[in-house]
Amino acid sequence: MFQLFQKKQALKKSIVGINQRNAELVYQYNQRKDYKLADDKVLTKEILHQHQIACAETYAVIERMGDLLSGWQSVQHYQKIAIKPANGSGGGGIKILKKNAQNKWMSSGKKIDDSQILQHMANILMGVYSLGGRDRVLIECCIEPHPFFHEIYPAGVPDFRVILLNDVPILSMLRVPTDQSDGKANLHQGGLGIGIDMLKGELTQGYDGKSYYDSHPDSKSQIKGKKIPFWNELLLLSMETSKAFPLNYLGIDIVLDKDLGPLIMEINVRPGLGIQLVNQKGIKEAIQEHKQFSTVLS
């Protein structure tokens, strides 16, 4: 009991709050003029493509209302696509579309017609989901999750969040959907965060904001001790991506495609702080350990 109390006290001292994160990490290690490279998914993708970094293929970028119809028609030959706001945050405005056997578009298991899709894209352009002002529509390849994820939870697209400082990974987690999150992996939408032992490349415990789990709370699949496929490649990809951007503190979101392996989804200049509770490790402690981890990676 006393050891548990000591652990909680140590975690409390090690945790970074939002003001400290902004002052000592975001502002200290990044220049404000470079924030847009992370905030705008289109700019992010341009840099990723320029450096030939593995990421989801871009199918179309729509910037004006007058281009909505032609942009939508240009992707009709695909069987599955992802529609995103370029400046969205927290998964808002993302719509995954797949065609059924009758060649009709489906969204979250329900039929969706062209007028509904065009209205959704119009909302994106008007800035409904953006960080501010008008936005752009990004249409890209739809990820087919690696079977590893289906062993944990059979729906949605889970992703890894890796936080890096000076191009070295210091903390990471896996975000997976739940019955509550409707296929979304984002924690604030009901997704489950799973901690990662970065040296071993293993999952630790899941955290839903209230409780810790050794198994997924809905599927009951084992989490703790599960080996992560492509873990070293995933970490090296995060480091390669970090070096391509003029940002020295950032979060990188990575998915595992069943055929293509690790792919960069987006980067974040203000990565959320829930990752500390998920891992039961504060960012202060993670920073102290990052030199050791850097040595292991090299």
Question: What does the chain come to in residues?
Answer: 298
> Do residues 275 and 171 touch, judged by C-beta distance below 8 A?
yes
pTM listed for this prediction: 0.88
Q: 181: which 2 tokens? A: 């999150």
195: closest CA among 210, 221, 214? 214
What would the pLDDT profile of 101-130 be if each residue is shown by its tens digit? 999 999 988 999 999 999 999 999 999 998
97: closest CA among 77, 117, 115? 117
Q: 10: how many CB neighbours lie within 10 A of its CB? A: 14
The 8-class DSSP code of residue 189 comes to G
Phi-psi region at 166: left, alpha or beta (left = phi > 0; alpha = psi -120 to 50): left
Show Cβ contacts of residue 70 under 8 Å, excluding neighbours closer than 6 positions. none
β-strand pairing of 249-257 with 159-165: antiparallel
**CA-angle at 233, arms to 59 and 186, nearest 5°:** 60
What would the pLDDT profile of 60-117 be if each residue is shown by its tens digit? 999 999 999 999 999 999 999 999 999 987 778 999 999 999 999 999 889 999 999 9
d(CA 296, CA 298): 6
d(CA 227, CA 254): 17
Q: 63: which 2 tokens? A: 């910037």
Instruction: Provide the pLDDT confidence category of residue 275 given band limits of 50, 70 and 90.
Output: very high
Phi-psi region at 121: left, alpha or beta (left = phi > 0; alpha = psi -120 to 50): alpha
Instruction: Provide the pLDDT confidence category of residue 132 given band limits of 50, 70 and 90.
Output: low
